[in-house]
Amino acid sequence: MQARGRVTAAELADELEVSVATARRDLEALSAAGVPVYPQPGRGGGWSLVGGARTDLSGLSATEAQALFLLVGPAAAVSGEAKAALRKLVRALPRTFRADAEAAADATMIDPTRWGERDRRRPEMVDLLQTAVVRRRKVRLTYANASRERTERLVDPWGLVDKDDIWYLIAGTERGQRTFRVDRIVEAEPTDRPAERPDDFTLAAAWEQVVGEVERRRSQTWATVLIAARYVPVLRDQFGRHCHTDGELDDGRVRVRLAAPTPLDVARNLAGWGAMVEVVEPRSVQAELARIGAELTGRYAGGH
């Protein structure tokens, strides 16, 4: 109505992909709720906003609209539902916002299929769990841990996270918040029992807690190494957030702090660097490197 001034129920039904009866019922409900829309009967009639009244979709600013479509646009490439929703959102925006919003939606795309793969899709288990999260229903899980031991439990599904192509379910259990790898869920049976969720729960905060705990376990062994400054970016790519520079020496080398779960994990990542890296401490990492070097020497010495 903002864009055209007046629309019929049939036009609205076609635009929003609903039945005429649904469109007419929704228009009447809007009018009854106080939204200034009214019908004009007869030839050339239809529904209009009283006095040219306007609304701008939840009060979105132009910048907010662009940000929204930058996020939603890529999803539209892999989801028919997202594409339909995006089309309807565009129509609901004020006319002055539409060009920039559509440009933002087309600025980025997602190709979820890796090179050499075909028709890569989200696991069906994720869809089932997502429905349970949205509807707030308890789910009975059969879960296999890292040792492939199976357990059954009734959980309150709170949210799903896709981390580097691995899906995780954050849920409430009798022992509090727990995180489950979706690819280890053998079976999931939604129930009709309502799920409970803390009033102050937010998925972002819960996931930050999970990440913090995982990173803590991954950084239990710290080592100090010396390496030429030009190689520091490569080392940082290898160790990620567990790589911190700690000053430059007079000989052009940089002191770097590295971390991994165990001394062996640190040594394995550094062994390929050979003499390009000098491990200053701890002795446990030096010992693992010496052992790895001895193993390689024993196997390949003499060309055998």
CATH number of domain containing 175:
2.30.30.520
Looking at the structure, do residues 264 and 195 belong to the same domain, yes or no?
A: no
Summarize pLDDT for 8-52 with one digit per residue, the tens.
888 888 888 888 888 888 888 877 776 777 777 777 678 877 665
* 141 falls within a domain: yes
Looking at the structure, do residues 265 and 196 belong to the same domain, yes or no?
A: no
Looking at the structure, do residues 190 and 226 belong to the same domain, yes or no?
A: no
| Burial track 42-62 (b if 16+ CB lie within 10 A, e otherwise) | eeeebbbbeeeeeeeeeebee
pLDDT at position 9 is 84
Looking at the structure, do residues 223 and 281 belong to the same domain, yes or no?
A: yes
The mean pLDDT of 294-300, rounded to a whole number, is: 91
Rounded to two decimals, what is the model's pTM? 0.59
CA torsion angle 270 272 274 280 (round to 10): 0
Cα angle 120, 125, 214 (rounded to 5 degrees) comes to 90
Looking at the structure, do residues 196 and 261 belong to the same domain, yes or no?
A: no
Of the two residues 226 and 107, the one the predictor is more confident about is 226
Banded pLDDT at 86 (limits 50, 70, 90) = confident
Looking at the structure, do residues 188 and 259 belong to the same domain, yes or no?
A: no
* 77 falls within a domain: no
Count the domains in the chain.
Answer: 3
* 48 falls within a domain: yes
Structural domain that includes position 197: 124-201
Looking at the structure, do residues 192 and 227 belong to the same domain, yes or no?
A: no
* 64 falls within a domain: no
Summarize pLDDT for 178-208 with one digit per residue, the tens.
999 999 999 999 999 999 999 899 998 999 9
Q: State how far the Cα of 177 lies from the Cα of 18, in Å rounded to an integer.
A: 41
* 283 falls within a domain: yes
Report the percentage of the chain scoring pLDDT > 90: 44
Looking at the structure, do residues 187 and 133 belong to the same domain, yes or no?
A: yes
What is the side-by-side order of every strand in the sheet holding 253-260? Answer: 243-248, 253-260, 221-228, 278-281
Looking at the structure, do residues 181 and 233 belong to the same domain, yes or no?
A: no
| Burial track 180-193 (b if 16+ CB lie within 10 A, e otherwise) | bebeebeebebeee
* 90 falls within a domain: no
Looking at the structure, do residues 223 and 292 belong to the same domain, yes or no?
A: yes
DSSP 117-167: --S----HHHHHHHHHHHHTEEEEEEEE-TT--EEEEEEEEEEEEEETTEE
Residue 111 has pLDDT above 70, yes or no: no
* 160 falls within a domain: yes
Residue 244 has pLDDT above 60, yes or no: yes
- All residues at 6 or more sequence positions from 303 whose CB lies less than 8 Å from its CB, including other chains: none
Helix (H, G, I), strand (E, B) or coil at 178: strand
Q: State how far the Cα of 190 lies from the Cα of 128, in Å rounded to an integer.
A: 8
* 239 falls within a domain: yes
Please, is 133 exposed, middle or buried when counting C-beta atoms within 10 Å of its C-beta (0-12, 13-18, 19+)?
buried
CATH number of domain containing 245:
3.30.70
CATH number of domain containing 22:
1.10.10.10
